[in-house]
Structure 1
Amino acid sequence: MLIGRDAERRAIEQLIAGARVGAAGVLLVTGEPGIGKTTLLDEAAVLADGLQVLRARGTEAESELPFAGLLQLLRPALTDLDRIPGPQRTALAAALALGPGTAGAADRFAVGAATLSLICRYAENTPVVLLVDDAHLLDRPSAEAVLFAARRLVADPIAMVIAVRSQQLQPFQADLPTLRLDGIPLDAAQQIMRHLPAELVEQLHHTVAGNPLALLELADDPERLLRIPPGVPLPVPAMLAEAFASRANGLSRDARTALLIAAVDDPELGVVSRGCAEAGVDVAALAEAEAAGLIAIRDSQVQWRHPLVRSAIYTSADPAERRTAHQAVARATPDPDRRAWHLSEAVLGADDEVAAGLVVAAEHAASRGAYAVAATAYERAGRLSRGSPDAAVRLVAAGEAAWSAGQAERAEALLDDALLLRPPVPVSIHVQAIRGDIELKCGSPRRALDILVAAAAESTEPEVAVGLLADAVAACLQLCDTAAGLDAAGRLDSLLPVLERPGARIVGMLASGVAKVLAGGSGGTDQIRDALALTPHDEAGKDPRRQYWTVMGALFLRETGTGRALLQQAMHERREQVALAALPGLLFLLARDDATTDRWADAEASYDEAIRLARETGETTEEAMNLAGLAWLMSHQGRARSQELALRCLRICAQHEIHIGTTWSLFALGDLELARGDPAAALPQYERLVGVLAEYGIKDPDLSPAPELAEVYLRLGRPDDARRVAREHSVLAEAKGQPWSLARAARALGEAGESEQEFLTALSRHEQTPDAFELARTRLAYGAWLRRVRRRVDARTQLRLAVQGFDLLGALGWADQAAAELKATGETARRRVPSTADDLTPQERQIAVLLVDGNSIREAAARLFLSPKTVEYHLRKIYAKLGIHSRGELADHLASGRT
């Protein structure tokens, strides 16, 4: 019975009651050791009577064993493993060592998605309650999988309670509802300790701040309180550990040895028994520890009174005793990976044989997506290989695994240690490639550029050098460093003739072409087009680097049809493979593509998903770029949120030198004011952007606000400035030679008063691009010019189309401006009634599109890393918002209001 926890019990009771009626709920219970977290979870199990309970408890012994905690939690639900989507099933089976590991399965997010799918399947017939105790002791990949699922539970009959120590919240220090346990009140303490004088109970309660376990443990020895110096705060956990260790010291030597063996490994009694036999003691000696209240033997398991008991037994043992215990358990365990871990704790100094065993354990962990565990195993192997040529290689592997686990600082430290051992040149170059990737995604693109260029210069392998230089061009793109980009392009071009692998040649050509376009150099667009035409598109997805550059190249061309299928294919492949870590970058490219068509709602949905995922995966650069992209998109709609997003992006960009994000954000701030009809407020933003582009030598006309600036100058009565800007921009557009650039340049010239033919040229160029917004902008500018020269009938044709185009896009500020121009010709615009589809949230929009495209509920759930019930929940909201009842009606609504 819980005493003094009425409010906490009600919170758990409400959570489980919600699961009974189909509402998901998650609660993170935090508190210091002994505060009652385990007792509260035990109460939750009682309250879950009649429901399915999945339960796991983290332990120190298994904290380095990949997915040990997840297997413990999901074991009863594995009967439904065959009922989840294939890629997820493969990933989870590999993680739990139920099937072979594969490259696709090694994604930590794939395992998280599979965990979500499995528990949702398991809950389809009877609600499920998941209880995770001592989650801070879970192995890292298990903790990540549990957190992934917890964040996405919305509409399933599932309740999840996770208990974790207050000072060890990572990785659970996230956006989960939290219940903090503090000490129990004095009256509850008095109820527990009726046998003691009230005055002593009050003193004890004050001393331990109401910690229930401390009250129970220390009540048997109140005299120890008198030995604490006055005014010195009592470290309750330390005192508890001391109390448990003191109790263990009263046991016989055999009992203490048996207890230590139980503390270093699996709680399964058979393993402990074999370990005791190896150590020459009888496992029956554990009966003494059970009688002392330190453990309990139940269901062939050694169950500890509290995790602190186990910690106290282990830490209070002599180091030599600990090594002996690990050695005994290593000889007793049949699992080679466990044996390797124990032997690594048992040896002193270098040991090549033990190191080799750890390398195998690391490889097994990595193949199952447990990169944090693999990093530790590789690191230990490296430390045990001192003096061996393998030491540096193993430390590099540890750094690479740590980076794959998202532990950037740890990865950097390991890589630095590897370099101190002066490894061979190919190994050191690989170190620099990893360091460059870390800097590019989480640190400074400038440092990334320096690292990658230096490594490429040192490499004697052309294909390795091309990969490094391509990554350097990506850094130049983030930095807007055109000079360095052109230098990298020149080096790429010199390597292309000697490349044997077609994929490497394509990457080199695309990266070189992009660098040239960014700097306004000649030949860049032709090089990109030639690269895209070299091989069938279906081969691009086999190489992530090549996939990135093929999609980037297609977007740089901005042509209708050229390479656009690559992006959809890439997204399909990454979602099928559950490659969540790769999605933010691809979603950015997909959103950017949609933002330059009439699919603005789809673009917003992709940007929104990418921002959420980038934060989850720690990809700062992708977060900034997607914030900038969404800000730019919303600026065209005149939405106030655009300014908030742009300012957030500018702060990130200033901190990490992501200058391309700065240019996009400034463009968004200027476009927002122009959409609001305030050219005076737009002017300083555009002029600041022009200054930034000039500072970095950016001559790609697609990044220039010159057409907008020319329009602003005209509205502010500065025609000479407008004409100058338009003519200068036209030169850059002609050099690039692409229809999108040429259309905008021609419009600017037309507005500046060159000739009507410029408007006609612009309209002709727009036919070769999918950008509906720029077409509407040109129609508005042309219509306004026709009205000013008193050709009102001709003006009406263009202005009607402009109003219609802006309305369809949801660019209401621009639609209002076009309608005002049309009214000035003597005609009132017929405005589109906003579709209720416009009210859908980005996630609802994504779900609607996937379902209309023919995906089932389960397929849509798998692709968006949600549960089927959550998709159904959102689908009901979609139907209610749109006032419809079928997918056919949904398709009609999306088609009629496609924005």
Structure 2
Amino acid sequence: MAVLWGREAEQAQLARVLSRARAGESAALVLLGDPGIGKTALLTQAAAAASGFTVLRCAGVETEAEVPFAALHQLLLPIMDRADALVDAQSAALRAALGLGPPAPGDLLLVGAAVLSLLAEASPVACFIDDAHWLDDASAACLRFVARRLQAESIAMVFAAREFAGLPAHRVPPLSPEAAAHLVADLPSPVRARVLTAAAGNPLALLELPRTFPDDRPVPLPARIQDSFATRLDTLPPDALLLAATDDRADLSTLLRAGADLTALSQAERAGLIEVLDGRVVFTHPLLRAAAYRHATFDRRLAAHRSLAAAVDDPDRRAWHLAAAATGPDEEAAVALEQAAERARGRTGYAATAAALQRAADLTAASPKRLARLVAAAEAADVAGRPDQVRALLDRLPPSEAIRLRAKLAPDAATAHELLITGARDAPRSVAGPMLFEAARNAWQQGDRARLAEVSGLLHERGLRSAAGLDAALATIDGETPSRDGMRAMAELVAAAEDIEAAFVAGLIGDFTASRAIAASAVARAREEGAAGRLPRALATLAAAELHLGRFRDAVTTAAEGLQLATDLGGPTQQLDGILAWIAAARGEDAECIRLAATGDPAWSAWALALLDLGRGRATEASDRFESAHRGPAGRHMQAVYSAPDQIEAAIKAGRRDRAEAVYVRFESWATTCDTDWSNAALARCRAALTEAAGVPDLPWEAARTHLIVGERLRRERRKHDSRVHLRTAAELFDRLGAAPWADRARAELRAAGEATTPAPEHDTLSPQELQIARLAAAGKTNREIAAMLFISPKTVSYHLYRAFPKLGVTTRTQLARLDLS
């Protein structure tokens, strides 16, 4: 790699990124810095040094920031001939996103997975993305997703930006005084001193300012460089580069149709201001392009946009040029933007959809149509994950509009509830029902009995079918037995729907078998449709059901994937953190449990920490935690249902039998009314803890806990032979679940009962992703199909199978299919 003076450290970092990709790994790096600091030069040099790589380049363009996937189109076009190698859903979604095919189902993360797979197909590949701060939102989100998912694909990704969060970054500093002096060594001494002072170590300024001898005005450096560029533009015919600066994507033929002067462009090229490459006009620096645009007067800029609107073939760019040329309400431009928004929505470019609709509303005279465009813009911004834009749009709407959006962005649960209730009172039944369901779910999760009762009253008042079901939830939150009619109504809600809300309701009545089936179906549909945005919530619901059914490995795998996707989407992770904290507690991973509980959902986290204490033999501490948690609003429904069996056991072991019996009375009444697999299994464990009953449930976690309780009691009663049967079974089940502290307790009891024990078997444990991939491979899925389902690359699938096979003691997929991976 040739040396850039004063940039040895940055060059070494870039060389390491390329070296890792050459070695079969992958790496990403963001170069941060002020305009002119040398980021583009570093990218150019690294691209030249990437011998043996497929080199892909693109740059963010300020005027294209609202065109979805504009930068991604530029980056991937040279390798799109490889897109046929992708699975059909990925190929269709990627072609649709880039405008190379018809609209296809799929969201941003499906497109991201397609990009990752495509880059892996072309590997070793080096991607250089300049001016990333000007990337359109869809391209930026997609490339961040890809960069975070890099593992073993032989891909190097280097970004250059003023600011670009979310990836490993290095800020490029000003040049050292010695390096700066070297660059201007040929200048006369007085000029050199002033240039060095004005440039402050900025390489572009050191090269550009000598052309226009710097004065002493306190002008920011980028503006001073632009002033220098403007002076150079004065040597050309007026507005010689205005059209090229107004639309950086326009090819030469389009610029000429719009009225560009070929002679003036040739003169600009000779002056070193532009290059004409592959039929396109390229400015030698982004600041020069900005200077060329700002150098023209306002009326000439409007005229340039009008000329380009008439000349460009792309309807989206035409729409934005029409909008830029408008000086007041303009229905032609508004309609064109509305159509552009629909095309962006078809390419899952929701940020671009929101921007186009917002601008369309700006260009619409006050009317119901303007209101509708603002609401549609707010809804698209919400899907795009841009809450600040949503709030700004909502501020422009009457208070009665977009109530559900207002509630979603409310600062607290109480405000959200009031918005939904107020909106539902005046809304037609078809709209009121969903609003009230959201209000009920919000109140349930907060353990807020008063607000839940308010929703119940409104449901009855409006004659909505979910009223009886909510009465059952209300009874549950009070620790009372719900009526059978109410439970039947909730069961009907479950049976009547297959969405994730039905899975949530199934959990309310303790039917985790149904909840798991519904959630698994929702996850499968989301995967099939490529709707990754719906997956985190569906995966959280599925993981909770798997956990209650004692399918710990499934729950970990499911929750870990949900957490990764939620992080990628910038969405909430509290429930997933809480579920993983609970499993960490069951497995005796103390530090991990405490770490996850600190950020998890309060109810899940409190239960996890209490379970951790209980598993470690700290019964009094566990009982205290349960009492403390259940006194708070977030724990009221948990006390009556899910954690009651653990609370009962902790209270008994802490010598608080009266408390255990009080909790049991409520739980028994609820569980017998539910009459589900989980409620019956949990009730059997409670009875074993409080009575002589010795019935053992089928669910593995409940069975293991019950065997342990019965075995402990029998040993205390000196019935050692009988106790050993239960304790041995408990130890085996706990081993299978990976619940180390509970297996240790069972073995300690076995030894006390006179039976020698062997240590728990050593397992070369699969990671959650390895297990998930191994299961899919065992089911006959190809690497490409697995990659598409999990939003990773086929090479990453191969990498994880390579690691999993030795741990499982197999060498082929045929052998893998014979294993029990449940």
Contact in 1 for aligned 2:109/2:791 (Cα 8 Å): no
1:629 CA drift (Å): 0.9
Match of 1:260 among 242, 252, 268: 242
Question: C-alpha root-mean-square deviation of aligned residues, in Å?
Answer: 2.6
Instruction: Tell me the residue number matched to 2:135.
Output: 138
Deviations 1:353-404 (A, max 9, x none): 2212211111111221111111111111111112232111111111111111
Instruction: Tell me the residue number matched to 1:637.
Output: 587
Instruction: Tell me the residue number matched to 1:349.
Output: 328
| Residue segments in structure 2 that go unaligned for 5+ positions in a row | none
1:432 CA drift (Å): 0.9
2:602 aligned with 1:602: no
1:189 to 1:370, Cα distance in 2 relative to 1, 3 A:
same
Map of 1:595-674 to 2, 5 A cutoff? 595-620=547-572, 623-649=573-599, 661-674=601-614
1:12 CA drift (Å): 2.2
Contact in 2 for aligned 1:517/1:736 (Cα 8 Å): no
Instruction: Tell me the residue number matched to 1:500.
Output: none
1:373 to 1:724, Cα distance in 2 relative to 1, 3 A:
closer
SS of the residue corresponding to residue 756 of structure 1 reads: coil
Instruction: Tell me the residue number matched to 1:817.
Output: 745
Instruction: Tell me the residue number matched to 1:52.
Output: 54
Contact in 1 for aligned 2:476/2:637 (Cα 8 Å): no
Instruction: Tell me the residue number matched to 2:543.
Output: 591
Deviations 1:844-894 (A, max 9, x none): 222222222222111111111111111111222223444542234445565
SS of the residue corresponding to residue 561 of structure 2 reads: helix
Deviations 1:522-560 (A, max 9, x none): 2343223333444xxxxx5xxxxx511222233344447
Contact in 2 for aligned 1:486/1:516 (Cα 8 Å): no
CA distance in 2 between partners of 1:558 and 1:58 (Å): 52
Deviations 1:399-430 (A, max 9, x none): 1111111101111210220227xxxxxxx45x
Match of 1:709 among 635, 647, 655: 647
Match of 1:81 among 74, 80, 83: 83
Deviations 1:93-130 (A, max 9, x none): 2111122224x23x12221111112221222xxx2221
Larger mean CA deviation between 242-251 and 808-817 belongs to: 242-251
SS of the residue corresponding to residue 632 of structure 2 reads: helix
Contact in 1 for aligned 2:60/2:133 (Cα 8 Å): yes
Match of 1:434 among 390, 400, 405: 405
1:737 CA drift (Å): 4.4
Instruction: Tell me the residue number matched to 1:94.
Output: 96
Residue type at the aligned position of 2:451 = A
Match of 1:274 among 254, 257, 263: 257
1:386 to 1:809, Cα distance in 2 relative to 1, 3 A:
same
Deviations 1:43-81 (A, max 9, x none): 122112343221111112222222111111111111112
CA distance in 1 between partners of 2:469 and 2:252 (Å): 61
Residue type at the aligned position of 1:691 = R
1:215 CA drift (Å): 0.2
Contact in 2 for aligned 1:55/1:73 (Cα 8 Å): yes
CA distance in 2 between partners of 1:561 and 1:316 (Å): 68
Contact in 2 for aligned 1:642/1:672 (Cα 8 Å): no
SS of the residue corresponding to residue 129 of structure 1 reads: strand
CA distance in 2 between partners of 1:368 and 1:59 (Å): 20
2:117 aligned with 1:117: yes
1:751 to 1:60, Cα distance in 2 relative to 1, 3 A:
closer
1:746 to 1:301, Cα distance in 2 relative to 1, 3 A:
closer
Instruction: Tell me the residue number matched to 1:476.
Output: 443
Match of 1:284 among 263, 269, 272: 263
SS of the residue corresponding to residue 499 of structure 2 reads: helix
Match of 1:854 among 780, 788, 796: 780
CA distance in 2 between partners of 1:84 and 1:891 (Å): 25
CA distance in 2 between partners of 1:680 and 1:699 (Å): 19
Contact in 2 for aligned 1:61/1:263 (Cα 8 Å): no
2:776 aligned with 1:808: no
1:829 CA drift (Å): 3.9
SS of the residue corresponding to residue 32 of structure 2 reads: strand
2:187 aligned with 1:218: no
1:721 to 1:145, Cα distance in 2 relative to 1, 3 A:
closer
Match of 1:886 among 805, 812, 815: 812
2:150 aligned with 1:153: yes
CA distance in 1 between partners of 2:280 and 2:521 (Å): 51
Match of 1:34 among 33, 36, 41: 36
2:289 aligned with 1:318: no
Instruction: Tell me the residue number matched to 2:195.
Output: 204
Contact in 2 for aligned 1:803/1:831 (Cα 8 Å): no
2:637 aligned with 1:698: yes
CA distance in 1 between partners of 2:556 and 2:266 (Å): 64
1:313 to 1:828, Cα distance in 2 relative to 1, 3 A:
same
Deviations 1:798-841 (A, max 9, x none): 222222221221112112222222333222345541332xx222
Contact in 1 for aligned 2:610/2:626 (Cα 8 Å): yes
1:511 CA drift (Å): 6.9
CA distance in 2 between partners of 1:783 and 1:775 (Å): 12
SS of the residue corresponding to residue 417 of structure 1 reads: coil
Contact in 2 for aligned 1:517/1:700 (Cα 8 Å): no
Instruction: Tell me the residue number matched to 2:692.
Output: 756
CA distance in 2 between partners of 1:696 and 1:631 (Å): 16
CA distance in 2 between partners of 1:691 and 1:704 (Å): 14
Instruction: Tell me the residue number matched to 1:525.
Output: 487
Contact in 1 for aligned 2:512/2:678 (Cα 8 Å): no
- TM-score scaled to structure 2, two decimals? 0.93
Deviations 1:716-770 (A, max 9, x none): 3344444444335434444544453354345435434xx423x43xx3xx24xx3
CA distance in 2 between partners of 1:121 and 1:30 (Å): 29
CA distance in 2 between partners of 1:634 and 1:177 (Å): 29
Match of 1:797 among 717, 725, 745: 725
Contact in 2 for aligned 1:34/1:212 (Cα 8 Å): yes
CA distance in 1 between partners of 2:45 and 2:638 (Å): 66
SS of the residue corresponding to residue 23 of structure 1 reads: coil
Map of 1:383-782 to 2, 5 A cutoff? 383-419=362-398, 428-429=400-401, 431-439=402-410, 444-460=412-428, 462-492=429-459, 517-519=476-478, 520=480, 521-522=482-483, 523-534=485-496, 547-559=499-511, 561-562=513-514, 564-620=516-572, 623-649=573-599, 661-692=601-632, 698=637, 701-705=640-644, 707-752=645-690, 755-757=691-693, 759-760=694-695, 763=696, 766-767=697-698, 770=699, 772-782=700-710
Instruction: Tell me the residue number matched to 1:194.
Output: 185
| Residue segments in structure 1 that go unaligned for 5+ positions in a row | 421-427, 498-504, 535-539, 541-545, 651-660
Instruction: Tell me the residue number matched to 2:763.
Output: 835
CA distance in 2 between partners of 1:717 and 1:700 (Å): 19
Instruction: Tell me the residue number matched to 1:656.
Output: none
Contact in 2 for aligned 1:267/1:303 (Cα 8 Å): no
Contact in 1 for aligned 2:439/2:455 (Cα 8 Å): yes
Equivalent pairs counted in the alignment come to 816
Contact in 2 for aligned 1:54/1:128 (Cα 8 Å): yes
1:214 CA drift (Å): 0.3
SS of the residue corresponding to residue 65 of structure 1 reads: coil
Residue type at the aligned position of 1:446 = A
CA distance in 1 between partners of 2:512 and 2:563 (Å): 27
Residue type at the aligned position of 2:230 = A
Contact in 1 for aligned 2:133/2:161 (Cα 8 Å): yes
1:888 to 1:702, Cα distance in 2 relative to 1, 3 A:
farther
1:183 CA drift (Å): 2.2
CA distance in 1 between partners of 2:430 and 2:60 (Å): 45
Instruction: Tell me the residue number matched to 2:12.
Output: 10
Contact in 1 for aligned 2:519/2:539 (Cα 8 Å): no
1:809 to 1:311, Cα distance in 2 relative to 1, 3 A:
same
